[in-house]
Structure 1
Amino acid sequence: MTALPDKARVVIVGGGVVGCSVAYHLTKLGWKDVVLLERKQLTSGTTWHAAGLIAQLRATANMTRLAKYSQELYGGLEAETGLATGFRRVGSITAALTQERREEIFRSAAMARAFGVEVEEITPDEIGARYPHLNLDGVVAGVYLARDGQGDPGNIALALAKGARQRGAVIAEQTAVTGFSRAGQRVTGVDYAGPEGPGHIACDMVVNCAGLWGREVGRMAGVNVPLQACEHFYIVSEPIAGLEQLPVLRVPDECAYYKVDAGKLMLGAFEPKAKPWGPPRPDFEFDQLPDDFDHFESILEMAVNRVPILGAAGIHTFFNGPESFTPDNAYHLGLAPGMDNVWVAAGFNSIGIQSAGGAGMALAQWMQDGEKPFDLGDVDIARAHPFQGNQRYLRARVSETLGLLYADHFPYRQKASARGVRRTPFHAHLAEQGAVFGELAGWERANWFAQPGQAAEYAYSWQRQAFFPNVAAELAAVRTGVGMYDMSSFGKLRVEGPDAESFLNHLCGADMAVPVGKIVYTQFLNPKGGIEADVTVTRLSETAYLVVTPAATRLADETWLRRHLGESRVVITDVTAGEGVLAVMGPRARDLMALVSPGDFSNAANPFGTMQEIELGMGLARAHRVSYVGELGWELYLSADMAGHAFETLWEAGQDLGLKLCGMHMMDSARIEKAFRHFGHDITCEDHVLEAGLGFAVKTAKPAFIGRDAVLRKKEAGLERRMLQFRLTDPEPLLYHNEPLLRDGQIVGHLSSGAYGHHLGAAIGMGYAPCRGETVADLLASRWEVDVAGVRVPAVASARPMYDPDGDRVRM
């Protein structure tokens, strides 16, 4: 019987591989008083039946860093703890059955090289040599990662638990968490029911690693953890005589993966339409779900054709077990919004074993330092919006996201399920005009506009998609005439009160002591000078400001503000849904504004970077003269009740001027031509504001602000790397992000973002280039190339925007 303390520094809820990893890494950092509570036995939820595939390559550099760390950790656990983990580097093969999939996996292979992962593109014959049991019919190419591996999931978790115990952690099984005591935004203790009855542990922190039960445990603690269990199927063959160890094989076009273990062959599947399950029963322990052979049959039929020995061997085990999935197929990690000491590590989307080591390490370091060890924006729980905890939404969405793990990961691919939850005031107007909507953070946003007779839908490809000429025409309107697009989904946070100016001056790099009506472009910096948010701030009055944020990071940015409030006399209010926003942009924008408003839109009365209140049609609006597309224009803020009238007024008045409706793809093309940074890609919390080329937005002469010392240190020490803009010399290839960047034939980094520059006539990318001790002239004199799916394409580099480098057009 494990004796539980009445007090702990941290209580971890859940004893799967993730909870054990968090305990292991906290104790490795020297933490004492670490308690882990497991409702049944360790590994009894999902971990025990996981497939145990351990791959290195993930979608981003930092997720790959975490996966590689997991591999290295598992390789040494046995020596440390004496428990065998079954970890072996057997390699992995991904086989493509279509040219589109070949493009995808070859782009992934190129990305792997940029991230320092050992990878080979291989031919069908080379696949057959490494996997002789594979039917090569229809196989067009593959990639091979020699250092990928597999392991025993349960033993990996138990080894992590033993390592934590050896350093003093208390791990209690058969001990269910029943509730939390709270004071304000802190959990003060954990209630539990153990073998000897109920009890309570006072604690400084809580970590929700409850897996299948993560959503419910989150709700008990007052936090939103959007995840939903789905049924996950695999079969294990009878023993196959002479079956040698083989690489893990993935055939995503047939939704299948294969693993050899102990002379048997496992077939697992990520079927296109999954079966949600749950909520999980309280007594669930090492359980499996009822068989559903009909659901699995079509995948099995393809599998016995692809790997004939599977059909000949017979089925030893048909397994159906639950795993938890999130709305975007990225796990939840970090400090939960709305609480000061509740942490989350849950929702691992069937990659919990390969992710657990790195996730545990990153979370433990975050808890130790009070700040992220590196950019974790992909998985930060602060990205999860409140509505996403809705059960009906989750069941609809995860029925699709499980299958998307093995679907073609086409650029701009939109999820088809759980749509239409959040609509801007202009949604119906835009739909009538042929808008093709994408979804971000639940918002339906017009991404492009179909022409009459054209299908108003995506037809996905890695090559030029159907919207390519549409976006070119939309950008041409903005560059030469006038275009209008909906920006209502962008976050809007009112920050007001007697201390609003001093509060924002503490958080922002720029100076907030500006006149009423002034718009300031700025960043929230962390103590290392990294960028936590990229925003515009408009002074509405002596005591009120409007902070405008990207749609995806609205909650994260609000959370950052709230966590730094302290004793400031400030109120923060999310007013995103209260106002619609229409952007009117282009050389003829002033002409259009004159047709709908008696306001003075001259440079003298309304210069760039200022706001004025205006009449618009028969209503009212605020006109913010600012631009993310690099042209003359205004963002028009309209109360929701007047938004429809404003759209109709502008649309009718704009017909004689050739007004064109535009979408988000146009905005991305325009901003990358202008070298405007995109938060989450080009700038993150680990990108120093000076190295990002945003020093102009930082005013170190003002009183102390977060990150000021780091900015001054960097100015003195010099830049380690510098953000550059790249244009491919060949107009045909397309860039998205993460393509390797080569300088004089050597990989030196990767593109942080990419899009087609329709006005410049080629794909444009942004990326950081190492530059210690070098001048800009040294960098630009080099020979630059970008690796596009294995093909090196020459590129021209620039330290200044390739479009309108002096910024004259926004000030016309």
Structure 2
Amino acid sequence: MASFLSGTFQIKKECLACRGAAAVFNMSYFGKFYLVGLDARKAADWLFSADVSRPPGSTVYTCMLNHRGGTESDLTVSRLAPGLQASALAPAFEGDGYYLAVGGAVAQHNWSHVSTVLQDQKFRCQLIDSSEDLGLISIQGPASRAILQEVLDADLSDEAFPFSTHKLVRASGHLVRAMRLSFVGELGWELHVPKPACVAVYRAVMAAGTKHGLVNAGYRAIDSLSIEKGYRHWHADLRPDDSPLEAGLAFTCKLKSAVPFLGREALEKQRAEGLRRRLVCFTVDEKVPMFGLEAIWRNGQVVGHVRRADFGFAVDKTLAYGYIRDPSGQSVSLDFVKSGDYALERMGVAYPARAHLKSPFDPDNKRVKGIY
């Protein structure tokens, strides 16, 4: 399989640069929506599985569900402070406001889902599409703070700028919205930039990053880095027939609160009855390419198929994610997952695989906190 990895040299270079120094990703294709108005908080409580009614300046990773408890989207939702003065980074609004950042390939799906729910529930609020008005670059890696501290007029320390928060700051003189988030499992920030300032801000970031080893990186690198960290991709790991409980995303669901949300009853029923399937991470020591749809064998029986696979360059293994079931029809417990002997079948050949309950890369989530 030497030819398989020899063709991934550029991807490997970008991934290892992100893990060891820093990489910049152009995420401008993301959908960027504002949900604002008198009923925006009621709408957010109903739409989003997580509790997003936090103080302005907070950012929350959440799902949106359907009435069956299936996942229609995963996204980030940032609470905004109300204001009567519109700008490129926030509309004028009264009441409550939220900024939604969603994967660009599914932006229209998200827009349609939110619009339908707002109409059905008769919430008095607006959904505003600013996708074409804002660029988005993401600077990720252990050197990201040092780089951006030269570009932004804000204190980027953990105390001043914690993970999962956002602020309006100036980047090389241009007003931008900075968010401390990561889709690759590293210390990093996203910069949401008004379109006229995009090139200037990007050039300032690259100039500051030269001495820190900053590189441009692409979507194949994001795919590899995110699967290595165990982050989900909607349409692959998550679909409208997958619940967040099955996908290991129970932390995105405000089930400990009494707040109703779309899909809650289905999740409570599923939790009470036990999960009939679970999303599991597998690693394969042999360096073979896998792409999805490979059969998952457990103790000599097929228990599912791979939804998504890629090569992880930091762990130096093929990684795969797939939902598994118990052939006996019983619920799938964590003990069931841990006790099996697994193999992934690729083109008729079964390769021994190891199941993981946590991401094999940085399972304690230290790196996103800046702990290296």
TM-score, L = length of structure 1: 0.42
Q: Give the Å deviation of 1:469.
A: 1.1
Indicate yes or no: 2:270 matched with 1:714.
yes
3-state SS, counterpart of residue 760 of structure 1: coil
Q: Paired residue for 2:157, among 602, 607, 621?
A: 602
Indicate yes or no: 2:12 matched with 1:472.
yes
Q: How does 1:788-803 map to 2 (within 5 A)?
A: 788-803=346-361
Q: Paired residue for 2:281, among 725, 741, 755?
A: 725
Q: Paired residue for 2:148, among 580, 593, 599?
A: 593
3-state SS, counterpart of residue 476 of structure 1: helix
Name the residue aligned to 1:540: 80
Aligned in 2, Cα 1:539/1:804: closer, same or farther, shift over 3 Å? same
Q: Give the Å deviation of 1:512.
A: 2.0
Q: Which amino acid aligns with 1:693?
A: G
Q: Which amino acid aligns with 1:503?
A: A
Name the residue aligned to 1:783: 341
Alpha-carbon distance between aligned partners in 1 of 2:252 and 2:30, rounded to the nearest angstrom: 21
Q: Give the Å deviation of 1:550.
A: 1.2
Contact 1:518–1:611 under 8 Å retained in 2: yes
Q: Paired residue for 2:58, among 512, 518, 531?
A: 518
Q: Which amino acid aligns with 1:748?
A: V
Q: Give the Å deviation of 1:645.
A: 0.3
Contact 1:511–1:702 under 8 Å retained in 2: no
Aligned in 2, Cα 1:774/1:529: closer, same or farther, shift over 3 Å? closer
Q: How does 1:11-26 map to 2 (within 5 A)?
A: none
Alpha-carbon distance between aligned partners in 1 of 2:242 and 2:39, rounded to the nearest angstrom: 29
Q: Give the Å deviation of 1:466.
A: 6.3
Alpha-carbon distance between aligned partners in 1 of 2:348 and 2:130, rounded to the nearest angstrom: 46
Q: Give the Å deviation of 1:597.
A: 1.7
- Listed as ranges, the gaps of 5+ residues in structure 1 are 1-460
Alpha-carbon distance between aligned partners in 1 of 2:218 and 2:293, rounded to the nearest angstrom: 24
Contact 2:33–2:101 under 8 Å retained in 1: yes
Q: Paired residue for 2:136, among 556, 570, 581?
A: 581
3-state SS, counterpart of residue 656 of structure 1: helix
Q: Give the Å deviation of 1:598.
A: 2.4
Q: How does 1:6-85 map to 2 (within 5 A)?
A: none
Alpha-carbon distance between aligned partners in 2 of 1:684 and 1:671, rounded to the nearest angstrom: 17
Contact 2:274–2:332 under 8 Å retained in 1: no
Aligned in 2, Cα 1:568/1:773: closer, same or farther, shift over 3 Å? closer
3-state SS, counterpart of residue 705 of structure 1: coil
Q: Give the Å deviation of 1:653.
A: 1.0
Q: Paired residue for 2:181, among 598, 607, 626?
A: 626
Contact 1:723–1:799 under 8 Å retained in 2: no
Q: Give the Å deviation of 1:778.
A: 3.0
Aligned in 2, Cα 1:466/1:540: closer, same or farther, shift over 3 Å? farther
Name the residue aligned to 1:384: none
Q: Which amino acid aligns with 1:544?
A: G
Contact 1:490–1:554 under 8 Å retained in 2: yes
Name the residue aligned to 1:559: 112
3-state SS, counterpart of residue 137 of structure 2: strand
Q: Which amino acid aligns with 1:549?
A: V
Aligned in 2, Cα 1:757/1:465: closer, same or farther, shift over 3 Å? closer
Contact 2:152–2:169 under 8 Å retained in 1: yes
Alpha-carbon distance between aligned partners in 2 of 1:615 and 1:515, rounded to the nearest angstrom: 22
Name the residue aligned to 1:69: none
Alpha-carbon distance between aligned partners in 1 of 2:232 and 2:3, rounded to the nearest angstrom: 24
3-state SS, counterpart of residue 101 of structure 2: strand
Indicate yes or no: 2:253 matched with 1:695.
no
Q: How does 1:357-756 map to 2 (within 5 A)?
A: 464=4, 467-542=7-82, 543-566=96-119, 567-700=122-255, 701-730=257-286, 732-756=287-311
Q: Paired residue for 2:319, among 755, 764, 781?
A: 764
Contact 2:148–2:208 under 8 Å retained in 1: no
Determine which structure has greater relative contact order: mean sequence separation of CA pairs < 8 Å that are 6+ residues apart, divided by chain length.
2
Deviation digits for residues 57-97 of structure 1 (CA, Å, limit 9, x no counterpart): xxxxxxxxxxxxxxxxxxxxxxxxxxxxxxxxxxxxxxxxx
3-state SS, counterpart of residue 577 of structure 1: coil
Q: Which amino acid aligns with 1:537?
A: V
Alpha-carbon distance between aligned partners in 2 of 1:778 and 1:686, rounded to the nearest angstrom: 22
Alpha-carbon distance between aligned partners in 1 of 2:332 and 2:36, rounded to the nearest angstrom: 45
Alpha-carbon distance between aligned partners in 2 of 1:594 and 1:715, rounded to the nearest angstrom: 45
Q: Give the Å deviation of 1:464.
A: 2.2
Alpha-carbon distance between aligned partners in 2 of 1:526 and 1:463, rounded to the nearest angstrom: 43
Moved over 6 A (4+): none
Q: Give the Å deviation of 1:773.
A: 4.1
Alpha-carbon distance between aligned partners in 2 of 1:659 and 1:592, rounded to the nearest angstrom: 8
Alpha-carbon distance between aligned partners in 1 of 2:237 and 2:212, rounded to the nearest angstrom: 35
Aligned in 2, Cα 1:756/1:642: closer, same or farther, shift over 3 Å? same
Q: Give the Å deviation of 1:504.
A: 1.3
- Listed as ranges, the gaps of 5+ residues in structure 2 are 83-95
Q: Give the Å deviation of 1:739.
A: 0.9
Q: Give the Å deviation of 1:615.
A: 1.1
Alpha-carbon distance between aligned partners in 1 of 2:311 and 2:80, rounded to the nearest angstrom: 36
Q: How does 1:275-290 map to 2 (within 5 A)?
A: none
Deviation digits for residues 168-226 of structure 1 (CA, Å, limit 9, x no counterpart): xxxxxxxxxxxxxxxxxxxxxxxxxxxxxxxxxxxxxxxxxxxxxxxxxxxxxxxxxxx
Deviation digits for residues 601-659 of structure 1 (CA, Å, limit 9, x no counterpart): 11111111000111111212111111110000001110000001001101111101111
Alpha-carbon distance between aligned partners in 1 of 2:208 and 2:184, rounded to the nearest angstrom: 22
Name the residue aligned to 2:89: none
- Number of matched pairs: 351
Alpha-carbon distance between aligned partners in 1 of 2:27 and 2:332, rounded to the nearest angstrom: 40
TM-score, L = length of structure 2: 0.91
Alpha-carbon distance between aligned partners in 2 of 1:623 and 1:767, rounded to the nearest angstrom: 34
Q: Which amino acid aligns with 1:602?
A: S
Name the residue aligned to 1:258: none
Alpha-carbon distance between aligned partners in 1 of 2:161 and 2:247, rounded to the nearest angstrom: 29
